Every structure is written in structure tokens, then in C-alpha cells.
Chain A
Amino acid sequence: MSSIVEPVPPGTLRLAGRRARDWIPAAVVLVGGVALWQVLVDALNIQKFILPTPTEIISALKENWSTLRVRGVATFEVALGGFGIGAGLGALAALFLARWRRLGRALLPYAIAANAIPIIAFAPIFNNWFGLLNPVSKMAISSVICFFPVMINSLRGLTSVHPSSIELMRSYAAGEAATFRRVRIPSSLPYLFSGLKVATVLAMIGAVVSQYFGGSRTTSLGLFIKENTAEARFAQAWAAIVVASVLGVALYLTVALIERFVLRWHPSVRGGEARVNDTSSGRTKGGGG
């Protein structure tokens, strides 16, 4: 029997692909960077309205914690909703375009052109369509931003199948549906997740920016930032930005975690396992081994 390296036991989830100690360099950069920021702002006497110190931002965070928490959660819900709708529609559109290629080829240029329109131009329009106070008007912006990356990545995955694989399925007299189910969709999953991860950060950005165009005040992180920057309260604005970033990262990590589970078979997830070498030579017929 050739030598085999035991695979990592299932259930050993690594945090976003790396062991704990691989995170040390990143942590050092974070701590060092923040410390440098604090020192430089004081030493160079930088005005508060240009760049507040980390300590000022942290105290602004603490002061405004209750309102930031409420607004942050509400904005996160908008981002999540937009992400779900946009990504879901994007994946469906990709399936459609992959299944009916000719129609897809006809429609794709328009999808690309539509994606080129600055989405934020639609914010006032969506406010009108769905109602300024309706969170759907903000979700709509988020979902439009999420749609394209997911669609284009999924489409890539669905159509990047090895031609021999398609020939194999044809040799099994498989129809389009079976080919999609057994081959195209599973092989597109890594691509889909790439698109989803891109969409997570866009979702949060879309939610926050769409809030600049009006809406209910108490649920609006974007409005908090806008008001506080206009009133020269930059430490507060930065605090809200920190909250928005953390939420965006949280969404990203959630998707990354789901990816690791769904793609648990993927070499990149199980990385570090050695390949088996075929050292069998001159096996006797029928011998075990």
C-alpha cells in the first residue's frame, strides 16, 4: 500500500483559511498602525477636522454607542436584504444566461452597460418608487450593486467547464438539466463565492451611501456620517465609519465561513494535504492493496 498522508479530520475549521498564529502579522500591523496614527496626529498637530486621533474616535464610539448600534443594525439589515436579493437574482440570471446561450449573448452587453451607470444616480429615483421611508428603497440600491459581480462570476463558473466534462455527460445521454445539476452548478460554486464575497462589501457600501439621499433618521448610518461631517464632528463621523466597516467585514467573514463549509471538498480549503503517489509497481493480479 502506498503511503498516504491522513487528511485533516473534518470539522477542523480554520478561521478564514489560516491558523490562529498566521494572524499575528496582521494584528501587529493593526496595533502598530493605530499607535502610529495616534502619535503622529498629536506630534504634527493635525487639526481635528482633518484627522482625529484614534482615542478621540474610540471615545466618540463609546459616547454614541446606543445610537450607532441601533443605526448600525438597521443599516446592516438593509445591506443583508440587498445582498440577498441582488445576489440571488444575479445567480438566477447567470443560470438563465448559461442555459440559453444565444439569448445570453444578446443580453449580456446590455447588462454590462447597465452596470456602468453610476448606481447612486438611482437613489433618488428608488426613493420615489418605493417611498423615502421604506427600507426597500435603500435595499434596492444595495441589491443592484450586488447583482452584477455575482452574476458575472457565476456565469463564468457555469460556462468554464472543461469541454470533456460536457462530452462525458453527453456520453451518458444526459440532458441539459442533468448536466447543469451534476456538473455546471457544482463546478461554478467557487466562482459564485468569489462573486458573493465581492458583493458583501458592496452591499454595505450601497446601503450606507443610499442613506445619504434621505430617509428615516434613526435607522440611518449614512445620515449619521453625513450630518456629523457637515457639522464638523469628525470623530463621530469616523466612529460611524468604523461601525460600517466592521459590519461589512462581518458580512464578508460570514460568507467566507459558509464558503468553507460548502466548498469543504475544495483543494484550497483542504490545503496542505499531500497528494498520494502511485508507488504501486508490479502488483500481482487480484492482489489487495
Chain B
Amino acid sequence: MSTPADVAVSLRGVSKRYAGRAGRSIDALSPIDLDVRAGEFVSLIGPSGCGKSTLLRVVGDLIAPTEGKILVNGKPAHQARLDRDYGIVFQDPVLYDWRTVGRNIALPLEMLGWDRARRAARVEEMLELVELTGFEDHHPWQLSGGMQQRVSIGRALSFSPALLLMDEPFGALDEMTRERLNIELLRIWERSGCTVLFVTHSITEAVFLSTRVAVMSSRPGRIAAVVDIELTRPRGAETRVAPRFFELVTAVRGRLRGAGAELDVRDEALPDEALMLAEEER
């Protein structure tokens, strides 16, 4: 198992081009350079279609880059995936209805070949971590959206990866649940000590959660700016009303405007299209 001290994500000259229909090609990412230090919480924010979700998947070796080098945990991204060095949380919790909450969390552990007792113990731990103790035998559809996402986070961290990739995990939830889960996520992050790469379209969320915010330009995306967020921790409800918070939000917003169009509600079809095309490539 990797320790937080080892983790880094290193992107050098990473670009992604898709062969589009009728011979046209789509430049999803123009060369990206980015370093994420161990233990950091880095958010990726950018206008619709800028490729932030694509970038996240490139880091996870779910999409192959056209050019560039990605190092995760000191290894090429492909190897990192095979070594299961990261956990991933999507906007859709993607929990399996035919498994209970406990068995959903245990899924990666089953695949790693852990024995029953060890799995049970770890599931207990994770439920405690995401504050869902006692819900082990429930089925996912019996839980609210926010609770399902917590299960998803518990599953992602169940095998103690050093890196956590998150693709707009709270995008489908209402504002209040979101804010609550933001605080919970920070708590979980601090307890687990992992590195987080977090894609979002919410400026306030990015600022609230991160140590640094990477602003991406519109398609083809590149890192337009990186903003350090030196708000004190632990952050809570009071952080959201602090003057420094508003200043940082404004700063990020300014960089966004400079980088391209206004933020839209969600990324365009590119991530799905990317997946389809990626499938065909296989």
C-alpha cells in the first residue's frame, strides 16, 4: 500500500486529440503541465467542455493521452491503475442495487482477494469514516443521494489508495446537502491523508475545499492559472462567510473569465463522447 508521502501526480505536455467524424479532429486538451504534491487537495475548474473531466480520466488511465507523460505515485498512469493506486468517485454514485451498502463498499476488496473477516472489518471502518454506521444492510436505493455519495466515497477509500479522483461528485445534489458533504469530505480527507484531485464547476466549492485551484481555459483546455487557497483549516460554515473567502472566489472567477466563456451548468457531451470513442479505440 502506498503512503501519502510518496504520492504525486505529475503531468507534462499532456494533450488529447480525438478523431472526430468526417475526418475532423477535436482537440480536447492542449498541452497540460501540472504537479500535484502529496497530501494536497487540488480542484480543477473550467468552462463547459474545457476537458477537466477528460483530464481526470487521463490521470486515471481511463483515457489514453495523445501526447505527454503522466506520473502517478511515481509510476506511469497505466501502471498506477493496474496497481490500484487511486480510488475514483463519479457524479453518479454508481452503486450496485443488488449489493447492500456493506457489499458495495467491499467490492474492490473482493476483487483484491481479501478474506471475509478482513473485508468486514474494513467495511466497518469505512462506514464509520463516512458516518453511515448501521446502514450496512441497506440497499443503495433506500438511501438519499447524499448518503449514496458517501457510500461511494467509502468504497473509493476502502483499499486505502494514496490518490482520490473525484469527478463532480456533488454535482447532482442540492446546495445544502452539498455544503454539508463538503465539510464531511474535508474531514475524511484529513483523516485518510490521501491526495485529492477534484473536478467541479462550482467556484465556491473549489475554493472551500482546496489547497490550490487550477483554472482551465475553454476547449482545447490548458491550465490558465493556479490559485493558492491559503484559508485556514479546519474549514467550516464560518469559512464561507469570511471576507478572504469572497476575495478568493472573486479571484478565481476573474481567472475564469480571462480563460474563456462563463461557466455553464455542466460539461458538454465531451466526456461521454470521449468514452464512446475510447471504447471504439479498444
Contact = CB atoms under 8 A, between A and B. Distances in A.
Interface of A: 1, 7, 162-165, 167-168, 170-174, 178, 182-183, 186-187, 189, 265-267, 270, 273, 275-278, 280-281, 283, 285, 287-289
A287 B131 CA distance: 8
A266 B97 contact: yes
Contact of B142 (A7, A187, A289): A7
Interface stretch (B9-17, B86-94, B117-125): B86-94
A162 B272 CA distance: 11
B168 to A, nearest CB: 11
A165 B144 contact: no
A191 to B, nearest CB: 13
25 contacts: A164-B90, A164-B91, A164-B94, A165-B94, A165-B96, A167-B60, A167-B62, A168-B88, A171-B81, A171-B86, A171-B87, A171-B88, A172-B107, A182-B107, A186-B96, A265-B97, A267-B97, A270-B139, A275-B142, A275-B143, A275-B144, A276-B144, A278-B177, A289-B131, A289-B134
Given A182-B107, A183-B96, A283-B131, A173 B141 contact: no
Interface of B: 57, 60-62, 81-84, 86-88, 90-92, 94, 96-99, 107-108, 111, 131, 133-135, 138-139, 141-144, 146-147, 177, 180, 187, 272, 275
Given A167-B62, A186-B96, A172 B142 contact: no
B187 A168 contact: no
Nearest to B143: A276
B112 to A, nearest CB: 8
A173 B96 contact: no
A277 B144 contact: yes
Contacts of B108: 172
A171 B62 CA distance: 7
Contacts of A172: 84, 107-108, 111
Given A186-B96, A280-B131, A288-B133, A171 B144 contact: no
Nearest to B87: A171
Contacts of A173: 81-84
A270 B133 CA distance: 23
A270 B137 CA distance: 14
B60 to A, nearest CB: 6
Given A172-B108, A277-B144, 4 more contacts: A7-B142, A182-B111, A189-B98, A278-B147
A186 B84 contact: no
Contacts of A287: 131
Contacts of B139: 265, 267, 270
A270 B60 CA distance: 37
A273 B142 contact: yes
Given A164-B94, A183-B96, A285 B144 contact: no
Nearest to A168: B94
Contacts of A289: 131, 133-134
A281 B180 contact: yes
B104 to A, nearest CB: 11
Contacts of B141: 267, 275
Contacts of A265: 97-99, 139
A5 B185 CA distance: 27
A275 B145 CA distance: 10
A1 B131 CA distance: 11
Contacts of B57: 167
Contacts of A266: 97-98
